[in-house]
Copies of this chain bind each other. A is one copy, B any other.
């Protein structure tokens, strides 16, 4: 490992991953455990970094990419909190504060998806860009990324999964799985939505199943709306559902068809394979992004 060591936490709704290192070439010890209540989970996080420090010496900083919704506004009194999540035990949890009580060092805090986006920007598929999006299509659908060279924050932070899309009830009578909106993007195209519509899990649907054309249609509708608003230089699509290799090419051609020549950029009309891409860091995007967040928190100018 290099001399300066950083801690990274990928805090997902299902599992936590903690790691120590400085980048993709020296990721050291990594520990995974299920996301239980904060009282059960956060002490394991703290214990992991205590052990790492005992073995390797002081960390320079810790980065946290968290499931949400989270408060990512540094000027807010609840900065670093998980706020209104439906996940039992976690609403109004001062995630960052509990870490700060245990360790006196700089810490970075952002959404899980922005953090993965930062990883892809630093070491993966979004290097050199200043405006790009990273979407994860899995248990939920989340989005993050950068605009003007900085991670997207605003009133809150991007959700993306709750975009309201068109659905043809004759072609797709499934009314959607989102408890808030029914047939929003997440309600139509997340892993659980696929499973409820077709009666089996995504990985059990054959590559030529009509599920994949419909899935590509909904994802493409979401991407088109992002393209004509944020105008990203590239879109990275990760998450479990995107593991199906037949899906990404279908999404690309649906995006072109739906835009119908309106956005006259060669990246879209000629090089879409390089415009809508898979993550380069794969499942390590989250923890590597957390390391990159830590490096920023430690004062590194990227």
Which residue of B162, B166, B231 is within 8 Å of A164 (Cβ)?
B166
How many Å lie between the Cα of A153 and that of B129 in the bound state? 12
Q: Bound complex: CA of A165 vs CA of B224, how far in Å? A: 11
- Contact call B148/A264, Cβ cutoff below 8 A: no
B225 pairs with A163, CB closer than 8 A: yes
- Which of chain B's residues have a CB closer than 8 A to the CB of A148? 147-150, 152-153
9 A-B interface contacts by CB (under 8 A): A84-B264, A154-B233, A155-B232, A155-B263, A158-B228, A159-B231, A159-B263, A163-B229, A180-B262
A228→B163 contact, CB < 8 A: yes
A69 CA / B224 CA spacing, docked (Å): 17
Give A residues with C-beta under 8 Å from B.
69, 83-84, 131, 143, 147-150, 152-167, 180-181, 221, 224-233, 258-265, 267-268
Q: Contacts of A164 on B, CB cut-off 8 Å? A: 165-166, 221, 224-225, 258
Residues of B within 8 A of A153 (CB): 131, 148, 231
Using known A-B contacts A164-B166, A166-B165, A181-B260, determine if residue A231 contacts B155 with beta carbons closer than 8 Å: yes
Q: Is the CB of A147 within 8 A of B156?
A: no
Q: Check if A154 sits within 8 Å of B231, measured CB to CB.
A: yes
Closest residue of B by beta carbon distance from A156: B231
A267 to B69, CA, bound (A): 16
Give complex CA distance A223, B180 in Å.
17
Please measure, in the bound complex, the distance between the C-alpha atom of A154 and the C-alpha atom of B233, giving whole angstroms: 6
Residue in chain B with minimal CB distance to A147? B147
Smallest Cβ-Cβ distance to A167: which chain B residue = B166
Contacts of A221 in B (CB 8 A): 164
Complex Cα spacing A231 to B258, Å: 25
The answer to whether B264 touches A160 (Cβ under 8 A) is no
A229 contact from B165, B230, B268, Cβ within 8 A: B230
User: A154-B233, A265-B155 known; A225 and B228 CB under 8 Å?
Assistant: no
Q: Which residues of B contact A267 (CB under 8 A)?
A: 155
Is the Cβ of B69 less than 8 Å from the Cβ of A264? yes
Which of B162, B227, B228, B264 is in CB contact (< 8 Å) with A83? B264
Residue of chain B at shortest CB distance from A220:
B164
Assess the A261–B152 pair: CB atoms within 8 A: no
Instruction: Report whether A160 and B262 are in contact in the complex, using a CB–CB cutoff of 8 Å.
Output: no
Q: Output the least CB separation between A260 and chain B (Å).
A: 5
